[in-house]
Structure 1
Amino acid sequence: MTLFNRVSLAILLGGLLAGCSANTTISSPSETAKINLKDVSRNQSTVQQELPTTSFGNYEFEVMDEQKAPMYGILPLKFNGGYLALDILLFAPGAFFNLREVYPYYEIDHDQGVVRYRSEKGGEWTTYTPTQEEAERARKYFAAQKSASQ
């Protein structure tokens, strides 16, 4: 294989790895909850979305529910060890784009103030409580979005 072909293949694979995404379902036990994600305004109690992988970014969320203070936070993301191995072998700069991705299933419990997530539909939930700093960061993000849209 010529050097040109190897470089072309590496660039192609790097582009494919950088463009990876994952599907997720985010729900709330409350039927009246409205869930919004960074860059995705749905205002629904269940959100099904394909979200790009990331190495440095986060997915802030906002949950609005009737007569309750809004809940803010950042979705926990899983580490992509397989992508890291491919990035190292084929296209090292790809590691800047795809080391973390969303879990397939989230449940944001506004009443408990927690985020539950799991990798498999029937799997066991892992519970995460957003920190004050994460909640404040998400609150500022959504406040800025609302200001910009007015």
Structure 2
Amino acid sequence: MLSQFKTPLLLLSSLALCACSAVTQLSSTQSDATITIKEGKHSGNPRSETLKTTSFGNYEFKVEQPQGKVLYGVLPLKFNGGYLAADILFFAPAAFFNLREVYPYYEFDTEKGVVRYKNKPQDSWLEYAPLAAESERAKAYFNAKP
């Protein structure tokens, strides 16, 4: 009797674990820049980073070149309707944690002051210039860090 529940429980458990984080590729058009992301573990360029999904939070970033040019902002995040459907069907409180996630690809350009992002390698880049308020919030966050 218990064995009939093993497969659905295993599937549900793996779905819940997958919904907790997303992997993204980070790079900069300036090869000497360092990329720092709130809750990120590294600052290399280019690199892969695993970041948690979120419903209400943001990922502030700081991209800095050795000659002093700095770009601050907030990563554009994508809404994940599949997670919302799963949350409604299986565990509604999870919607407080996993409705938005990072895009798989980001490219920062400190010279133009933009961040580009896309879903698939073959997609065209979407470009976003951080708002002044977002830049100030990110700057305050990174300047307050020890």
TM band (smaller chain) = 0.7 to 0.9
**One-letter amino acid of the structure 2 residue matched with residue 54 of structure 1:** T
Q: Give me the TM-score of the superposition, normalised by structure 1.
A: 0.84
Superposed, 1:1-150 pairs within 5 Å as 16=16, 20-145=20-145, 148=146
Q: Distance in 1 between matches of 2:47 and 2:139?
A: 19
Compute the displacement of 1:67 (Å).
1.8
8 Å CA contact 1:24, 1:104 repeated in 2: yes
Structure 2 SS opposite 1:95? helix
Q: For 1:43 and 1:101, how far apart are their aligned partners in 2?
A: 20
| Structure 1: unaligned runs, 5 residues or longer | none
Asked if the contact 1:17/1:98 (under 8 Å) is kept, the reply is no
What's the TM-score, normalizing by structure 2?
Answer: 0.86
CA contact (8 A) 2:40 2:51 kept: no
Quote how far apart the aligned CAs of 1:122 are: 1.5
CA distance in 1, matches of 2:114, 2:54: 23
Q: Is the 8 A contact 2:36 2:63 kept in 1?
A: yes
The count of aligned residue pairs is: 138
Which runs of 4 or more aligned residues in structure 1 lie more than 6 Å from their structure 2 counterparts after TM superposition? none
Closer, same or farther: CA 102–75 of 1 in aligned 2, 3 Å: same
